Structure formats: C-alpha cells, structure tokens
Amino acid sequence: MVVALVVVTNKLLVFVLEILLAAWFGTTFIKDAYLVALVIPNLIFIVGVEAITVTLVPLFMRLLSRENSEETWSIVSSIVNITLISLGGICVVYVLLAPWIISLIAPGFSQQNLVLATKLTRIISPIIIWGGLIGLLVGILNSFKRFTLAAFRLTFYNLIVIGFVYLFHSRWGIISLALAVTGASFFQVVVLLLGLWEKRRNYRLSIDISHPPLKGMAMAMTLVILGVTLTQLNFLIERAMASGLAEGSISSLDFAYKLMRMPFEIFAVAIATVVFPNITGLVITEDASKLRELFASALRMTAFITIPATVILIALRTPLIRILFERGEFSAGSTRMTATALFYYSFGLLFHGLNYVIIRTYYAFKDYKTPLKMGLIAIGLYILFNLVLVRRLAHGGLALGCSLAAMSYTVMLLKNIKIKMKDLQAIIFLKPLAKIVVSSALMGGVFIFMSRAPIYSPILRFVLILGAGGLTYFTVCFFLKVQEASQILKTSIEFIRGTNIRSL
C-alpha cells in the first residue's frame, strides 16, 4: 500500500512534467530528437537497474541466510566495483560513437535533427553509469525488504527535473531537459546511498572474482541483460520505423505509451516489487503451496487493476489527452495522433502487467533462460507485426504491434511456468478474470451512458464520468465476490487506522 501510494505520487509528478513538456515542445522535431537521443542511454539505464536488481536480490538473500557477513559484503563490494568499471567504459565508448549510433537509430532524420540528437545524447550518457549503481542499491534495499526509499527516489528525481526545466527551458530549450535528467539520475544514487549509510563500513575497494556465487550471478546477469534488452529493443525498433513517418509520430507514441504505462507502473510494478523477495523466499524454503497462492494472487490483483484501466484508456482517451496536454505547442492534431496510439497501446496493458510478475517468478527459480528464449520469439513477432501493420495504420500500427507482441509473450510465459509450479490450476486465475471482465464491461457501459450528460465543463465532465464508472466497477466486483475488491478495501481500512493510531 505504501509503495503504491508513493508510486501514485511519482506518476502524478511525471504527468506534471509531461504536461509542461507538451506545452513547451509539443510534438515537434525538437522533442523527437530528444526522444531518439534518450533511446540508448535510457535502454542501458533500464537494463542496468532491472538486471542487477533481479539477480542481486536472490543472491543476496541466500548469502544473508548463511550468516557469513564477511563473504557477503566482499561479494557485494566486488559487484559494485566491477559494475562501475564496466559501465564507465561503455559510457566513454558510447559518447565517442554517438553520431553513428544516432544515424542508425533514426535513419529518417534530417541532418539538423541528427546533430541535435547527438548533442543531447552526449549530455544524457552518464545515466548509463548511474543506472547500474541504482540497480545495486535498490537490490540491497529490497533484499532487506525496505521498499519505500527505493520508491521515493523517483519522487526526488521528478521534482528535480520539473524544477530545473521550469527554470531554464526558456534559456536553454531542450538542453535543459537533458541536463535535468542526468543530474536528477545522479541524485537518485545519493538518496539510495543515504539509505544504506549504516552499511558503509562493509564496502571494500577491491575486486575478488574467485567467489563461486559471483560467477553464478555474472552468468545470470548476462541472461537477464539479454532478456531485458530484447524487451527494450521495442523502443529502438519503434522509433526507427516512426522516424520515417509524419512529424510528431515519435512524440505521440511516447505520450501515449506513458499514459498506458501509468496504471501499470503504479500497481503492477508495486505488486511485483513487493512480491519478488517473498516469492524468492518461498522458493528457497520450497513451500510450494504458499508459492502457488502468492503467485496466483499477484496475477489476479494485476488483472483487477489493469483490465478496468484498459477500458478507461480506450473509452476516455481523447478527453484525457485533451485535458492533460492540449495547450501551447500541443495542438488538436497532436491530440488526435496521441489518441490513435493510445487506443492500440491499451490492448497490451494487462499483458505488460502480467509479464512483469511472471518474469520475476522465473528469476526467483533462478531460471533466466526461459524468459530470454520466449523474448527472442516475441521480438520476432513484434517486428513482423510492425512491418505488416505500419503500412495500414501508420504510427497506430506500431502501437498495436507492441500490444500483440506483449500478448504473445504472456501466453508463452504462462505455458512454461506450469512446469515449475506443479498443481497450478488455471481456474484460480480464469474464473476471477471473467468476473473482472464483466465488471469492466459494465463500467464501459456507464461511460457511454454518462457521455451524453449535458455537462459543459470538460474537466468536471471527465471527473464525473470516471467517478461513476469506477464506482460501478467496484460495486459489481463486490456483488460478484471478487476477492481482490474486498482485499483492497480491508487493506485500505487497516492502513488508514494504522496511520491514525501512529498520528495519535
């Protein structure tokens, strides 16, 4: 609950930033250049955070269970030092090769766009290093089941970016955004270090690669890096294809994707973040019954959030985009382009959420190869879908291709997870899923009915429609006895009571 609330705050700040960026830069070639410049550094940043976190948590928890502090921190220190040296070298090489890499990413860009994108990517490139450090620090904190600070780091990040760009965008333009991203990413490292300050004496300025667990983690991390890279290659492929479409295609895809990801990152990521160490612990103790129960519960809760969110994004996409972004450089045409992309992206929301939980379950079993193999197939399908759909639907086809690939990936992952979880019955997920779909469909009907109401304030109209639909969804879920609805209500009441008691 705490992690979800922090993530909600973070996403609200993200959308404050997106609203400001929409007004200042719209869907112009300047914003397109920035997004292309961000692709590779952000790819390495995300891969670094993801790969190091998910491989370090199982390793660190197993080391802690042995109660050998000297060996544990010797291994962790070696991992930190190797990460710094490796990512530092990658950063230097990337800065030197930036002009050629940008040309490959955006073959449809003009020379002016290429020059600007190269300049921006060199400013952003230090986040390659920061990403690795953040992954290590978050992994250590999560192993101790300390999730709040890791979530709060993004709050500080967003506040810094918003404040810096607000103050300097009129003077430095898009350069201010690149500088803000680099500086705020470094500040995340500082915040996380403060959270582990009491452990500072355990750090050693040395590298010892003789530890067997270190070699195992290196192999696991290689497989995870390949798997996460395949997932993130979607952005690279998408932006390469979109660079040859109409101006603003890349920006509209970016705005739409962030809107689609909002419910996913608020709830699915929060669920997976908290569940992952617990699943790992159950795998270590070989408690199969509780493991099945926790895994199924995580999937049901993800569906409970993402399916109605899909209906909301599809039904209310245009008024939502208009209210959030349509001002300044973000025109009515920008709204239409973004709404088209959001419509097709929304169909993949459920599957993105489920994948986030399922993949971490594979990692808890120390199975890093299966997600990679399935990812290779999914990326092949993604390219095929894009090549076919982009001809008919332009940038909308790229968004639909992303959703279809995510759907295919989920089916493959679920089929194979049954091998590891014996007696995992589909009914424990499919029956609640049917109830959630029915409740979401009725909510969609309320949206259609309420859209005819004679309310002339766009914001009030949107809020009333959304409120009526949300109330309908929860009411129907309670009537159909969807377990997750009761669970959220009970947890919320306990959380509020606990907060009140602490305040007294």
The angle subtended at Cα 186 by Cα 180 and Cα 192, nearest 5°, is: 135
pLDDT exceeds cutoff 70 at 385: yes
Higher pLDDT, 78 or 437: 437
Computed over every residue of the chain, the mean pLDDT equals 81
Quote the CA–CA distance of 458 and 152 in Å, as a whole number.
33
Q: How confident is the model at residue 50 (pLDDT cuts 50, 70, 90)?
A: confident
pLDDT of residue 92: 92
Q: Is 501 or 283 the better-scoring residue by pLDDT?
A: 283
**What integer pLDDT is reported at residue 408 of this predicted model?**
93
CA proximity to 24, closest of 166, 219, 193, 131: 166
Cβ-based burial of 95 (10 A; exposed 0-12, middle 13-18, buried ≥19) = middle
Q: Are 4 and 223 in contact (CB under 8 A)?
A: no
Under the banding of pLDDT at 50, 70 and 90, the label for residue 504 is very low
pLDDT over 70 percentage in the chain: 88
What is the rounded average pLDDT of the residues 71-80?
A: 77
* Predicted confidence (pLDDT) per residue in 319-340, tens digit: 989 888 887 778 888 899 999 9
Tell me the CA distances in angstroms from 311 to 260, 317, 437, one per residue in order. 11, 10, 10
Give the residue, 265 or 302, on which the prediction is more confident.
Answer: 302
Q: State residue 232's pLDDT score.
A: 67
pLDDT, position 440: 92
Q: How far is residue 495's CA from residue 289's CA, in Å, rounded to a whole number?
A: 27
pLDDT value of position 347: 94
Instruction: Give the Cβ contact number of residue 494 at 10 Å.
Output: 11
Q: Are the beta carbons of 376 and 230 closer than 8 angstroms?
A: yes
- Residue pair 250/36 in contact by the 8 Å Cβ criterion: yes
Tell me how far apart the alpha carbons of residues 46 and 55 are, in angstroms, rounded to a whole number.
14
Q: Which of 83-92, 284-293, 352-361 has the lowest mean pLDDT?
A: 284-293
380-387: average pLDDT: 90
Predicted pLDDT of residue 65: 66
Residue 499 has pLDDT above 60, yes or no: no
Region 102-118: what's the mean pLDDT?
Answer: 83
pLDDT at 503: 46
Domain range summary for the chain, segments of one domain joined by +: 1-24+247-427, 29-243
User: In 83-155, at which residue ranges do the beta strands (DSSP E only) sit?
Assistant: none
pLDDT tens, residue by residue, 18-44? 778 777 776 667 877 888 888 788 777
pLDDT higher than 90, residue 441: yes
Q: What percent of the chain has pLDDT over 90?
A: 14
Segment 382-401 shows an average pLDDT of 90
For the whole prediction, is pTM greater than 0.75? no
Residue 437's pLDDT band (cuts 50, 70, 90): very high
| CB contact burial 125-159 (16+ within 10 A = b; e otherwise) | bbbbbbbbbbbbbbbbbbbeeebebbbbbbbbbbb
Q: Is 347 helix (H, G, I), strand (E, B) or coil?
A: coil
Eight-state DSSP code of residue 199: G
